[in-house]
Amino acid sequence: MEAFPLAPSSRYTRATIMSRIVSIQDLAAQVPSGIRLGIGGVHLSRLPVALIREVLAAGKKDFTFISWGGGLPLELFLEARAVRKLLFCFSSLDIYGLAPRFREALEKHQIEVEEWTALAMMQGLHAAHFRLPEMPFQLPAGSDLMQHGDFWRATPSVFGQGQVGQARRIDVDVLLLHAQRADRDGNVEIQGARGFDMALLGAAQKVLVTAEEIVDPGELGARLSWILPREFVTAVAHQPWGAWPTSCLPCYSTDYSELLRYMRVEQSRRKAAAVSVPAESSLPPAPAPERKEFLASVASIRTANLAPAVLRDFRIPAESAACTIDELMAVVLSREYDNQSICSVGSVSPLAMVSYLLAKKTHAPRLTIIALNGGFIDIDYHAMSLTAAEPMQMASAKACWGADETYHWYYQQGRITHEVITTAQIDHRGRTNNAWVGSGEKRLRLPGQGGMADVANLHRHFILYLARHSRERFVEAVDFSTASRGLLTDEERRAAGLPPGKVRLISDLGIFEMKHADRLFRLVSLHPGIQLEEVRDKTGGDLLVADNLAVTEPPTPEQLRQVREEIDPFGIRRLEFVPGRDRLGLIESILHAEAAMVRYVAAGRPPKSTQEKKK
């Protein structure tokens, strides 16, 4: 049978079509065991889940898995015991927390690992693209990552311009990719954020694609889309819902409820000590029809649909009239930005996003926000949402880019002013640790630094936050620095072609600022109600305190109202403040409230408050 129905008007013969358009089973059959396998998509967007499941169902194993962010695809491969070696920068399950199978594999040394900085991985892939043995990159000054592994070097510049990094070539035998559309000739259209797809495509020998829709030649070219010419495509399979439970906009949004169920299954397995037992994937093969309808309706939501009256009707009310620490920190962070700021949203940073949106809505309307790890450039203001954020961001983005473009055009030129980031640990010299915590045999694997090792120096200001300040998190000295501001002083930064900037830490106890003279943090402001001795008790090592210690200015009543009612009405920022054991319950309550709102909006009804006024 043909892989799709042949349109009567088509000029193309069966032989032409079948040369590139195949079934998903035929696509998976082109993936041998033991190869270097790249995975396309980014975070919870456009991941080739259906194709991954087909490859694993065929019993393929022993892969070298190559991906900037391992995430759900890596969990599926580890579940099938199909990974021999991992090349990565970061791996988590986004708002759901640490990825359990990734953690176990690294904690028990079950696989070989190469942990790269994002810029080094990008350049390693570019080396394969350009048929070179290595490619240069800016050294991640202040990170300990380059002390490990033989896949990079620091070498003198051949032109006498100091030290440069050299990243070893990363070859990819096969890249698995999901796209919105392909035409019958095999040209492929990608819409939205592209993550590391461009770098992976350049390094790949074979590119296997699943697509939501197959169209006639000449029909590709949606708004802000990118076309991969057929010469670079090995084969395509028509696979609607091929990215589910992740998103593939504009077709459907991420199924956060299904991912919540998946995480609860994984938690149960770990509690039963059965996580290492091979089992059929806990992801079902496809969503139910009513779920498809819901996810398609979410994909069509725009900022205009979520008017303040609608948000007020469905928001999760604050538990207390008093200002909470998450609200205070969001307002404090928002004061860092102005109309000239260019703010990038890192991985799993809802508090940072709330602070950007608050500034954009109030005192900095021309602030530029870059969302989805560099994918959506200059998005408009919108209300925070788990289910509807990506559709609203993609619809308002002025450009949709990949990591290559964002790094080369923004980061490496020093144009990003802020990428506010949290970390598992930080010390008095501003060195962060997102790799390992614990001691001796009891060590917990953390998600990794993603691109933090690079951007800690590349963006103008290095602003960090800690939602739960403690001696375990603010330590005297981290054992391993995944990222820090190695280029600190104005002179060091200008010599590297970067603008001078400040280093700050905002915790739930106070504000800290780093002085260039001794490269140490000092407490410069206490939050209202916090005593100095409390900060001393909860800080490892000796606490340095500024001579003119201030008290943090609290939010105004209007700022508090806006955060609660319009900017983050479902309290998504609180996910960073609750203990891990409570996170899934909070996510469930958020999803329940958002689902009611989405169904109400999809039905075309006016806000409840408007109806009551008419009565």
Beta carbons within 10 angstroms of residue 243's beta carbon? 28
For the cut 50, the answer to whether the pLDDT of residue 133 exceeds it is: yes
pLDDT band of residue 273 (cuts 50, 70, 90) is: low
Report the chain's mean pLDDT, rounded to a whole number.
Answer: 92
For the cut 90, the answer to whether the pLDDT of residue 274 exceeds it is: no
Q: Is residue 139 in a domain?
A: no
What CA–CA distance (Å, rounded) separates 190 from 468? 39
DSSP string of 277-341, one letter each residue? S----SS-SS--HHHHHHHHHHHT--GGGS-HHHHHHH----S-SSPPHHHHHHHHHHTT--TT-
For the cut 60, the answer to whether the pLDDT of residue 5 exceeds it is: no
Answer for the pair 504, 464: CB distance below 8 angstroms, yes or no.
yes
pLDDT tens track for 299-357? 999 999 999 999 999 999 988 889 999 999 999 999 999 999 999 998 788 999 999 99
For the cut 80, the answer to whether the pLDDT of residue 528 exceeds it is: yes
The mean per-residue pLDDT over the stretch 207-212 comes to: 98
Q: What b/e readout covers 305-336, taking b as 16+ CB neighbours within 10 angstroms?
A: bbbeebbbbbbbebeeeebbbbbbbbbbbbeb
Q: Is residue 446 in a domain?
A: yes
For the cut 60, the answer to whether the pLDDT of residue 3 exceeds it is: no
pLDDT at 319 (0 to 100): 84
Q: What percent of the chain stands above pLDDT 70?
A: 93
What CA–CA distance (Å, rounded) separates 21 from 31? 16
- Chain-centroid distance of CA 23 in Å reads 31
For the cut 50, the answer to whether the pLDDT of residue 10 exceeds it is: no
Q: Is residue 284 in a domain?
A: no
- Indicate whether 347 and 251 sit together in one domain: no
Would you say how long the chain is, in residues?
615
CA distances to 22, 307, 462, 568 from 596, in Å: 40, 15, 39, 16
Q: Is residue 104 in a domain?
A: yes
The mean per-residue pLDDT over the stretch 397-414 comes to: 95
Q: Is residue 209 in a domain?
A: yes
**Domain span including residue 457:** 420-554
Q: Is the model more confident about 279 or about 351?
A: 351
pLDDT tens track for 467-493? 999 999 999 999 999 999 999 999 999
Answer for the pair 379, 397: CB distance below 8 angstroms, yes or no.
yes
CA distances to 37, 69, 108 from 481, in Å: 29, 19, 22
pLDDT tens track for 36-80? 999 999 999 999 999 999 999 999 999 999 999 999 999 999 999
The mean per-residue pLDDT over the stretch 498-521 comes to: 97
pLDDT band of residue 606 (cuts 50, 70, 90) is: low
453 contacts: CB under 8 Å, gap ≥ 6? 117, 118, 140, 142, 143, 145, 482, 483
Match 């090995």 to its residue by tokens: 234
Beta carbons within 10 angstroms of residue 260's beta carbon? 20
Q: Is residue 295 in a domain?
A: no
CATH number, position 107: 3.40.1080.10
- Indicate whether 411 and 444 sit together in one domain: no
3-state secondary structure of 36: strand
Count helices and strands in the chain by DSSP H and E runs: 20, 28
Answer for the pair 63, 35: CB distance below 8 angstroms, yes or no.
yes
Domain count, the chain: 3
The mean per-residue pLDDT over the stretch 535-544 comes to: 97
pLDDT tens track for 106-119? 999 999 999 999 99
Q: Is the peptide bond before 284 cis (omega within 30 degrees of 0)?
A: no
Which of 240, 264, 288 is at the close of a domain?
A: 264
pLDDT at 284 (0 to 100): 83
Q: What tokens does 413 get? A: 């030129």
For the cut 90, the answer to whether the pLDDT of residue 234 exceeds it is: yes
For the cut 80, the answer to whether the pLDDT of residue 126 exceeds it is: yes
Q: ∠ CA 124-129-131 to the nearest 5 degrees?
A: 90
- Indicate whether 584 and 547 sit together in one domain: no
Provide the β-strand partners of residue 426.
Answer: 432, 474
What CA–CA distance (Å, rounded) separates 212 from 234? 17
The mean per-residue pLDDT over the stretch 4-12 comes to: 38
The mean per-residue pLDDT over the stretch 379-402 comes to: 97
Provide the β-strand partners of residue 226.
Answer: 190
- Indicate whether 351 and 414 sit together in one domain: yes
pLDDT at 348 (0 to 100): 82
- Indicate whether 306 and 376 sit together in one domain: yes
- Indicate whether 105 and 244 sit together in one domain: yes
- Indicate whether 328 and 203 sit together in one domain: no
Closest CA to 328 of 573, 114, 128: 573
For the cut 70, the answer to whether the pLDDT of residue 255 exceeds it is: yes
β-strand 342-344 against 421-422: which pairing, if any? unpaired
pLDDT tens track for 153-197? 999 999 988 899 999 999 999 999 999 999 999 999 999 999 999
pLDDT at 438 (0 to 100): 84
Answer for the pair 586, 578: CB distance below 8 angstroms, yes or no.
yes
Q: Is residue 164 in a domain?
A: no
Beta carbons within 10 angstroms of residue 453's beta carbon? 31
Q: What tokens does 108 get? A: 């028990």
Q: What tokens does 547 get? A: 């001579």
DSSP summary character for residue 116 = -
Which of 207, 235, 264 is at the close of a domain?
A: 264
Match 């830490």 to its residue by tokens: 505
Q: Is the model more confident about 371 or about 275?
A: 371
- Indicate whether 481 and 594 sit together in one domain: no
DSSP summary character for residue 563 = I
- Indicate whether 245 and 386 sit together in one domain: no
27 contacts: CB under 8 Å, gap ≥ 6? 51, 54, 208, 209, 210, 235, 236, 237
CA distances to 144, 230, 250, 294, 396 from 224, in Å: 38, 19, 12, 25, 11
Q: Is residue 390 in a domain?
A: yes
Q: What percent of the chain stands above pLDDT 90?
A: 86
For the cut 90, the answer to whether the pLDDT of residue 235 exceeds it is: yes
DSSP summary character for residue 577 = T
Beta carbons within 10 angstroms of residue 550's beta carbon? 12
β-strand 442-445 against 520-526: which pairing, if any? unpaired
What CA–CA distance (Å, rounded) separates 207 from 501? 42
What CA–CA distance (Å, rounded) separates 243 from 78? 19
- Indicate whether 124 and 173 sit together in one domain: yes
pLDDT tens track for 562-604? 999 999 999 999 999 999 889 999 999 999 999 999 999 988 8
Would the CA dihedral through 305, 308, 312, 318 be positive or negative? Answer: positive
Which of 200, 235, 264 is at the close of a domain?
A: 264
- Indicate whether 376 and 468 sit together in one domain: no
309 contacts: CB under 8 Å, gap ≥ 6? 607, 609, 610
- Indicate whether 225 and 111 sit together in one domain: yes
- Chain-centroid distance of CA 198 in Å reads 17
Let me know if 219 is exposed, middle or buried by CB neighbors in 10 A (0-12, 13-18, 19+).
middle
